[in-house]
């Protein structure tokens, strides 16, 4: 997404995600009153055991990425109207692929 959007749009997207979305999702899981917390006995769902904070972090990142992909859309001039590739992407540097 970072290479396919303008820098200012990516910055605004990142600030909104870090300022508003991430705190809400972490509150659901990490707070004692959160609806998905292991400490909330009044919750209607089974508690979520978040080992090392991975669920909150990856849930937020996955949802934000899905929304960003929806708004950015597919690459232009990559597929024709039937969904067939118009042209192949150039081969990348094989040494970079092998050595990571």
Segment 7-21, tens digit of pLDDT:
898 889 889 989 998
Q: Tell me if 54 sits within 8 A of 97, measured CB to CB.
A: no
Work out the average pLDDT over 30-39.
Answer: 82
| pLDDT the model gives residue 66 | 92
pTM confidence score: 0.65
């Amino acid at each position: 997404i970072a290479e396919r959007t303008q820098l200012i749009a990516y910055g605004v997207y990142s600030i909104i995600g870090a300022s508003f979305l991430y705190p809400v999702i972490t509150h659901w899981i990490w707070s004692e009153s959160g609806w998905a917390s292991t400490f909330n006995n009044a919750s209607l769902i089974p508690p979520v055991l978040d080992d090392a904070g991975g669920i909150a972090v990856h849930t937020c990142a996955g949802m934000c990425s899905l929304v960003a992909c929806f708004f950015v859309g597919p690459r232009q001039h990559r597929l024709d109207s039937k969904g067939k590739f118009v042209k192949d992407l150039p081969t990348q540097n094989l040494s970079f692929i092998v050595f990571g």
